[in-house]
Structure 1
Amino acid sequence: MRICSLLPSATEVIALLGLSDELVGISHECDYPPSVRSVPIMVEPVIPPNGLASADIDQQVRQLAASGKQLYRLKDNLLRQARPDLVLSQNLCHVCAVTPDQLHDALSSLPHQPTVLTLNPSTVQDVIHDVVRIGDAAGRSAEGHRLAAQLHHRLEAVHTRIQGISHRPRVACIEWLSPLYAAGHWVPEMVQYAGGQDVLAQPGTPSRVVTWDEVFAAAPDVLVVMPCGFSVERTQTELFHLMQHTFLVDASSYFSRPGPRLIDGIELLAAILHPSNYDHIHESMACRLGPQPIH
């Protein structure tokens, strides 16, 4: 099967199902596992991906949207050459990836119409269910169910490790810095699984604009900064002054993409919220602002 994945989380699932060799196209953001980086890139952003601050990115996104222009360019010629049998896309966030309408227009000109699987997860359980859906669509149903079972097992392991905790820290998760966004969708549920309580959002609800006054009024014990698509290093360059108990995490790997590594994110959150129950966290996954290291 010839597979084109326009979604980083779906590309990760394809790799875990043992189908990396069947990838004929990916998006510019598909960077994990590293072995997929040699696959032809079918999508490129209109806005330069690096070097812009959050406020500048937001301004350019709003300007493009107001003018009716697309945020991404789909390379129709490469898509035609790839001749995909299966295309994996999403309908959750039109800022994050090619829109369904844009993809439909590009695919309509192909002589062979591929199967299109559109993913729209809002919760951790949706994400795990999508693993099964991708496995079914790619002809690897058994592997998909097996991978989903492994992810459920890891969730249970987190639950076992932190069960009996007497304190569930109040957690504020920030998805964007300017304007300030509270993380929604699956992130509040991740906090719950990790033994905390999200003070800014409910599981399955969209991310929303908040103010710093609202954040501080919520009185979080822990602030986790996870700008969508940013690494730890890029997030550090955005921040000047925040509360002492602030953690910067690798959002691209563990929070922004609704794939299997959300479970890694839950394990990471559990280690942040309950450090006495976990070993040292590698600095590439998270770093703490303030005088104390992550234990």
Structure 2
Amino acid sequence: MKEKLKIGAIIAAIAMIVMIGCAPKDNAEAAKGSNAKYPVTITDVFGSKVTIDKEPERIVALAPSTVEVLYELGLGDKIVGLTEYCDYPSEAKSKPKLGDFNGVNIEKIIEAKPDLIFAGTGMSKQEFQKLNDLKFKVIVTEAETVSQIPETFMMIGKAVNKEDEAKSLADKVTAKINDIKAKTKDVEKVKTYYVLSYGKAGNWTAGKGTFISDLINIAGGENVSDDIDGWKEYSLEKIVEKDPDLILVSDMIANGNKNLLDNENGYKDTSAVKNKRVAILDDDLTQRPGPRIVEGIELIAKAIHPEIFGK
């Protein structure tokens, strides 16, 4: 995606000061304690260092996976803006939309008055620079490998004063991933090919270093297109040569049709298509590096090794 104060605020600030001043000592101490860990400095996935002076109260999250993490940490009420693609959990759908396929809307972000912005790796350099020029605190949090996911949870937790909850979430997801790895450790690897697009759109697939390739390998498969790096087109000749036993298809192009490759040149000659081993993946589960990634790995594992994980 491209995963891209006036009188009312012054009155609210005065009211808050009055409330704190009149509050019992234990409440005042609690208020003080909420910011006890600040300022904190976060090093994001791009290596940028961002210092946060106080606990964020107005958060803009521009990556679906980050939105899911924030809700898991109990911070959905602090989200003041997200993108069209941030649709989980269902409560997120009612939040203000500050971006779409074309990028983020800088003007709407300014209007949202966030004190912290979580951006995805798909944000353009121009958008990122513009937000920095406007003195917003911007942290890029989207994991690009499975191993980065727990680290990302911890990064987000540290930024929003939810380190304990973030660690608990990271530990839970890590334990489930390790359980899947243990089950697939000694199994025979199934030759697997991922279809992002085909036909006139080009035969785009996931090579080495991509998130999907990582998931395939964890789930007990052998990504046959690991001989290329990143997202690239793959020749039909190579697809036939590699002869995958299983083909995984993005639901974005499959639309529920498992037979979409039956008459496609190259694909129809593979063992996967001949033996009806074509599985459609839920993109939200398999391409969002968030709390539900375990469900995505399990979905792929069931397609690769139904004898272990069921159908």
Note whether the superposition's TM-score is higher than 0.5. Answer: yes
> 1:202 deviation in Å?
6.5
On the 8 A contact 1:8/1:29 being kept in 2, the answer is yes
Out of 241, 245, 250, which is 1:217 matched to? 241
> 1:247 deviation in Å?
0.9
> Which residue of 1 is the match for residue 219 of structure 2?
194
Secondary structure, aligned partner of 2:255: helix
1:20-99 to structure 2, matched below 5 A, reads 20-45=76-101, 71-72=102-103, 74-91=104-121, 93=122, 98-99=123-124
On the 8 A contact 2:258/2:279 being kept in 1, the answer is no
> Which residue of 2 is the match for residue 171 of structure 1?
192
- 1:264 matched to 2:295: yes
5+ unaligned residues in a row in structure 1: which ranges? 46-70, 280-294
On the 8 A contact 2:142/2:289 being kept in 1, the answer is no
Larger radius of gyration, structure 1 or 2? Answer: 2
CA distance 1:118–1:234, shift in 2 (3 Å): farther
Cα displacement string for residues 158-188 of structure 1 (whole angstroms, at most 9, x for unaligned residues): 13334543x2111111223322211241221
> 1:114 deviation in Å?
3.1
Instruction: Tell me how far apart the structure 2 counterparts of residues 238 and 119 of structure 1 sit (CA, whole Å).
Output: 35
Instruction: Tell me how far apart the structure 1 counterparts of residues 112 and 217 of structure 2 sit (CA, whole Å).
Output: 42
> 1:236 deviation in Å?
6.6
5+ unaligned residues in a row in structure 2: which ranges? 1-56, 268-272
Instruction: Tell me how far apart the structure 1 counterparts of residues 61 and 189 of structure 2 sit (CA, whole Å).
Output: 38
On the 8 A contact 2:66/2:142 being kept in 1, the answer is no
> 1:232 deviation in Å?
5.7
On the 8 A contact 1:123/1:189 being kept in 2, the answer is yes
> 1:231 deviation in Å?
7.5
Instruction: Tell me how far apart the structure 1 counterparts of residues 280 and 147 of structure 2 sit (CA, whole Å).
Output: 25
* Higher helix proportion: 2
RMSD: 2.5
Instruction: Tell me how far apart the structure 2 counterparts of residues 231 and 17 of structure 1 sit (CA, whole Å).
Output: 33
The runs of at least 4 aligned residues of structure 1 exceeding 6 Å deviation read 234-238
Out of 246, 262, 268, which is 2:278 matched to? 246
Residue identity matched to 1:180: N
> Which residue of 1 is the match for residue 174 of structure 2?
152
